[in-house]
């Protein structure tokens, strides 16, 4: 669970640190820690900091009272941030504000920069208060009751039109409930089925027959098998329930279907982890569905209108390439480790680079390579590396860390998609191995699919470009949108629901953001 700070502490420390960028306090500010003493939390400190903000952003002074009301009596710190990233709630606000007719707010360019691929120069404190100002302007524009007081709880109820997540998914009859991304309605249909299943009281925990669980394989006979069969029948992976306790061909097909749609390794082994996943309470599953329905609200409307795009979903470790409304390619990927998370954002692929060089990050050079280079004069040559302009880079080739092709989309975090020589890593179920970039299993096939509209790029030419000795970069005449998303449940093309690991622990953060403060404490 994240450590939460009073807003006064967050604002005070942020302002203090901005004046002393080389101090240790700046490092502490960006780490989750419970050891910082609450020393800047008096009303006078808050007043001084808010006065400073509204002095620098003088055109927002008329919102000052309402903005500070959002932070009053709250134990949370920033409203719109999850560590250093804007949370889903902030994205929803931005999208709603853009769609509100005649909503004009000062410093719109600064706000736009927070959600664009260009790097914003705002401090987290300034950015958070700017977004709070945007909310106040939005609320005053869309609320018919001009005398209604602004508060954090009122914002949750009024802004997203619900007081609990349950209310959010109960009805879609209002105009405001319309969501452009149709995944919302697919998840909603699954939610209705799960609610009906819960009311039927047919969902019973699977209790393994064995005291010490042993993997179940085809032809096994066990009372556990009969329970698994009933579970997969309720979930729709089995069309009929024979109630047999034999692991037969019919159950093998159902197990495979269950595993594939939920991101497990596709085999017939029923391990203990699979039984635990099948035993996740329906209430938890429904909560996950509701959270991901909310994520659909924040998805740009452009995805519904795009005739071509790439979508990467981090929790399912999957990429899909869509063109003319149809999925052209699906590929496994691996993504950033928890300490080097892949950024969740939208961008545009503008270049495909064949036979790429890999410039080794200086941190790797300092921590790993310098000693090896000093100890072995042939080390660089053996690793197909060279030093150019003081930087170590790996030459193109089949062993290059970026593989044979990469896909570039400008972004402040300098992440991109690329091939990889480490194909065995795609055999793992949990695939968080990279420093933030997206490694694509079917990178060559993706390049071929994306270049079909470019006659000069035949499959044969692509093969030769990938086997080149020097880098070959091709600029796309039509940029392809890319959406890097975080859905822990999704409905696939066949209408099947999949639940995936919350690899970056974003579900709990979103749940706390959406639920009123009183409900978070109660839970």
Q: Please state, in angstroms and rounded to a whole number, the distance separating the CA atoms of residues 441 and 452.
A: 19
Does residue 6 have a pLDDT over 70? no
Residues 16-25 have pLDDT tens digits of 333 333 333 3
What CA–CA distances, in Å, run from 444 to 329, 353, 420? Answer: 11, 11, 10
Looking at the DSSP bridge assignments, the partners of residue 352 are 407, 474
Query: In sequence order, which residues have a C-beta less than 8 Å from that of residue 364 and are 6 or more positions away?
Result: none
In this prediction, what percent of the chain has a pLDDT beyond 90?
53
DSSP 8-class letter at 221: B
Q: Please tell me which residue, 79 or 520, carries the higher pLDDT value.
A: 79
pLDDT tier at 153, thresholds 50, 70, 90: low
Tokens of 465: 């470009």
SS3 track for 296-331: HHHCCCHHHHCCEEEEEECCCCEEEEEECCEEEEEE
Q: Please state, in angstroms and rounded to a whole number, the distance separating the CA atoms of residues 208 and 272.
A: 9
What is the rounded average pLDDT of the residues 473-479?
A: 96
What is the rounded average pLDDT of the residues 374-388?
A: 93
Does residue 515 have a pLDDT over 90? no
Q: What is the pTM of this model?
A: 0.68
- Catalytic residue check, 296: no
pLDDT tier at 158, thresholds 50, 70, 90: low
Residue 54 C-beta-side C-alpha neighbours within 13 Å: 17
Q: Please state, in angstroms and rounded to a whole number, the distance separating the CA atoms of residues 213 and 236.
A: 25
User: Which pLDDT score, from 0 to 100, does residue 512 have?
Assistant: 77
- Catalytic residue check, 437: yes
Token look-up 């007719």 returns 101
Does residue 166 have a pLDDT over 90? no
User: Which pLDDT score, from 0 to 100, does residue 225 have?
Assistant: 97
Q: 495, 186 in Cβ contact below 8 A? A: yes
401: three-class secondary structure by DSSP: coil
Q: Please tell me which residue, 424 or 146, carries the higher pLDDT value.
A: 424
Q: Of the residues 30, 212, 418, 435, which is catalytic?
A: 418
Does residue 168 have a pLDDT over 80? no
Give the torsion sign (CA, 314, 318, 321, 324): negative
Q: Of the residues 30, 296, 435, 437, which is catalytic?
A: 437
In this prediction, what percent of the chain has a pLDDT beyond 70?
80
User: Which pLDDT score, from 0 to 100, does residue 154 have?
Assistant: 65
């Amino acid at each position: 669970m994240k450590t939460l700070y009073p807003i006064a502490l967050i604002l005070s420390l942020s302002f203090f640190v901005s004046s002393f960028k080389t101090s240790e306090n700046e490092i502490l500010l960006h780490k989750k820690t419970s050891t910082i003493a609450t020393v800047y939390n008096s009303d006078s400190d808050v007043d001084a900091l808010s006065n400073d903000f509204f002095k620098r952003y003088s055109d927002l002074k008329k919102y000052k009272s309402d903005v500070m009301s959002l932070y009053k009596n709250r134990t949370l710190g920033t409203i719109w941030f999850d560590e250093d990233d804007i949370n889903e709630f902030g994205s929803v606000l931005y999208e709603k504000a853009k769609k509100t007719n005649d909503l004009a707010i000062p410093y719109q360019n600064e706000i736009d920069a927070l959600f664009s691929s260009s790097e914003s120069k705002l401090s987290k404190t300034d950015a958070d208060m700017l977004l709070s100002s945007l909310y106040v302007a939005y609320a005053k524009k869309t609320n018919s009751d001009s005398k209604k007081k602004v508060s954090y709880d009122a914002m949750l109820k009024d802004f997203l039109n619900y007081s609990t997540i349950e209310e959010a998914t109960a009805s879609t009859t209002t105009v405001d409930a319309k969501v452009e991304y149709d995944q919302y309605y697919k998840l909603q249909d699954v939610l209705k089925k799960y609610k009906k299943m819960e009311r039927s009281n047919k969902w019973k925990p699977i209790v393994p027959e064995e005291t010490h669980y042993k993997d179940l394989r085809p032809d096994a006979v066990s009372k556990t098998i009969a329970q698994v069969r009933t579970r997969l029948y309720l979930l729709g992976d089995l069309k009929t329930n024979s109630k047999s306790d034999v692991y037969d061909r019919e159950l093998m097909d159902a197990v495979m279907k269950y595993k594939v749609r939920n991101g497990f390794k596709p085999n017939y082994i029923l391990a203990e982890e699979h039984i635990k996943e099948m035993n996740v309470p329906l209430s938890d599953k429904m909560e996950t569905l509701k959270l991901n329905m909310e994520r659909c609200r924040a998805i740009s409307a452009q995805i519904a209108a795009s005739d071509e795009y790439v979508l990467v979903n981090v929790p399912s470790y999957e990429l899909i390439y869509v063109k003319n409304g149809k999925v052209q390619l699906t590929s496994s990927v691996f993504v950033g480790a928890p300490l080097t998370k892949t950024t969740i954002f939208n961008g545009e692929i503008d270049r495909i680079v064949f036979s790429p060089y890999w410039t080794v990050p200086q941190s790797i050079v300092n921590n790993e390579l310098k000693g090896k280079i000093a100890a072995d004069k042939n080390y660089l040559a053996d690793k197909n590396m060279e030093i150019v302009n003081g930087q170590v880079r790996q030459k193109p080739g089949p062993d290059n860390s970026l593989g044979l092709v990469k896909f570039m989309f400008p972004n402040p975090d300098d992440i991109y998609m690329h091939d990889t020589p480490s194909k065995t890593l795609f055999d793992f179920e949990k695939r968080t191995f990279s420093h933030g970039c997206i490694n694509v299993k079917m990178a060559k096939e993706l390049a071929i699919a994306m270049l079909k509209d470019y006659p000069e790029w035949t499959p044969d030419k692509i093969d030769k470009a990938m086997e080149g000795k020097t880098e070959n970069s091709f600029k796309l005449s039509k940029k392809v949108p890319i959406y890097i998303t975080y859905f822990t449940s999704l409905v696939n093309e066949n209408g099947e629901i999949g639940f995936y690991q919350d690899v970056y622990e974003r579900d709990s953060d979103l749940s706390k953001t959406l639920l009123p403060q009183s409900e978070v404490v109660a839970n």
